[in-house]
Amino acid sequence: MQTIDHGSHGDIRDAVRGLCAEFPAEYHRKVDEERGYPERFVDALTKAGWMAALIPEEYGGSGLGLTEASVIMEEINRSGGNSGACHGQMYNMGTLIRHGSEEQKRKYLPRIAEGALRLQSMGVTEPTAGTDTTGIKTVAVRKGDRYLVNGQKVWISRVQHSDLMILLARTTPIDQVAKKSEGMSIFLVDLHEAKRKGMSVKPIVNMVNHETNELFFDDLEIPAENLIGEEGQGFKYILTGLNAERTLIAAECIGDGYWFIDKVTAYAKDRKVFGRPIGQNQGVQFPIAESFIEIEAANLMRYEACRLYDAHQPCGAQANMAKYLAAKASWEAANACIQFHGGFGFAAEFDVERKFRETRLYQVAPISTNLILSYVAEHILGLPKSY
């Protein structure tokens, strides 16, 4: 497949592709069938230093930017794997690096870089608030040198395969703040200690093989020194992570999109019905060509979002638009891929149905398509607020 060359990181691509080639489709299929966690794969990524890509060199990482991190995630998905098992560390990293204290960075980053700790979880979503994050009900109340946390989260991923989580909680009641986005704070939670001291975890079985959970906090104690940045400013800080997350997921969808296009193109050239390859029919060609065009266009927006993030410039609009375009394009490529595989699209051994389920998630999480449209309508185009 000939894609537009964005001058993009050939060395990183080759190295990640080489590592991914050691984990072929059979590996990911088996993990999916067993509803397991790709432990060996994540360990290999960690040992090769890819999970420490964003950690500055002075703390033991390779000091790369979001652009490079997005290339790593893209290549994992393009190889047939699923970055969902490990992308948390990438988007959480920006939050800790940009807003954490020097002491916190010295304490955690070198250990994350060497693979002794994983920072794979972010606890934002709640059952009652849903997408309306400022309506969260989880509260953290300071008592001397600790915070006591009470409340509930839902859909919190990788908690069982992580050591640390960034948690968003309200520290000032909503009726006592000037703006509802104020009065929330973020904390670095030691998950092993939390499980012993007031946090319970209930796994959610779901359509994708994605380890995600309900969390319940009953007087969970967090040392005050684990507060990240200033109390009350957490919403602003978590947006750093959310923008990185949207951009990385755009790159993952682009990786998925190319995987679907490769797969369906090869199949459509090979499969003969009515005495000719199915790919000779324009009814088959056009949906594939259309989704390819859309993936290439989404790719441009993804690099623009990365560029702005890495330059510490506002990137909310580009991160959201990249995620919107890429998730839509990968979903259309997935549809074409499953459709033109006919019955075989549904057979697990072709991997299409697995990737189809995986890429479908990104129409809803980490932010739904509707909410991106609403953001663009109201924040960029200045249309009246609907909520």
Ligand X SMILES: Cc1cc2nc3c(=O)[nH]c(=O)nc-3n(C[C@H](O)[C@H](O)[C@H](O)COP(=O)(O)OP(=O)(O)OC[C@H]3O[C@@H](n4cnc5c(N)ncnc54)[C@H](O)[C@@H]3O)c2cc1C
What residues does 142 pair with on adjacent strands? 147
Is residue 370 at the binding interface for ligand X, with CB under 6 A as the rule? yes
What minimum distance in Å lies between the beta carbon of 131 and ligand X?
A: 3
The alpha helices in the chain, defined as continuous H runs, are: 10-21, 25-33, 39-47, 66-78, 88-99, 102-113, 191-196, 234-270, 282-310, 316-340, 352-360, 369-375
Q: Which candidate in 245, 252, 294, 353 is catalytic? A: 245
In angstroms, what is the C-alpha Rg of the chain? 21
Nearest-10 Cα torsion for 119, 221, 239, 301: 20
Pairing state of beta strands 199-203 and 212-223? Answer: antiparallel
Is residue 217 at the binding interface for ligand X, with CB under 6 A as the rule? no
- Interacting stretch for ligand X, rule CB under 6 A, among 5-13, 71-79, 89-97, 207-215? 207-215
- Let me know: does 268 contact 278? Beta carbons within 8 Å: yes
Is residue 93 at the binding interface for ligand X, with CB under 6 A as the rule? no
Is residue 374 at the binding interface for ligand X, with CB under 6 A as the rule? yes
Is residue 365 at the binding interface for ligand X, with CB under 6 A as the rule? yes
List 28, 118, 170, 210, residue binding ligand X (CB under 6 A): 210
CA distance 218 to 150: 5
Q: Is the Cβ of residue 297 or residue 365 nearer to ligand X in the bound state?
A: 365
What minimum distance in Å lies between the beta carbon of 387 and ligand X?
A: 5
- Let me know: does 185 contact 227? Beta carbons within 8 Å: yes
Is residue 327 at the binding interface for ligand X, with CB under 6 A as the rule? no
- Let me know: does 346 contact 353? Beta carbons within 8 Å: yes
Is residue 3 at the binding interface for ligand X, with CB under 6 A as the rule? no
What minimum distance in Å lies between the beta carbon of 20 and ligand X?
A: 22
Question: Three-state SS for 185?
Answer: strand
- Interacting stretch for ligand X, rule CB under 6 A, among 40-48, 117-125, 176-184, 257-265? 117-125
What minimum distance in Å lies between the beta carbon of 184 and ligand X?
A: 13
Is residue 101 at the binding interface for ligand X, with CB under 6 A as the rule? no
What minimum distance in Å lies between the beta carbon of 116 and ligand X?
A: 22
Structure tokens, 147: 């915070």
Q: How many residues does the chain have?
A: 387
Answer yes or no: 245 catalytic: yes
What minimum distance in Å lies between the beta carbon of 240 and ligand X?
A: 15
Q: Which of residues 133-162 bind ligand X (CB under 6 A)?
A: 155-157
Is residue 122 at the binding interface for ligand X, with CB under 6 A as the rule? yes
CA 328 to chain centroid, in Å, comes to 16
State the residue number with the nearest CB to ligand X: 130
- Interacting stretch for ligand X, rule CB under 6 A, among 20-28, 224-232, 319-327, 368-376? 368-376
- Phi, psi for 355 (deg, rounded to 5): -65, -35
Nearest-10 Cα torsion for 236, 238, 240, 245: -150
Contacting positions for ligand X (CB under 6 A): 122-125, 130-131, 155-157, 206, 208, 210, 212, 361, 364-368, 370, 374, 387
Q: Catalytic positions, please?
A: 245
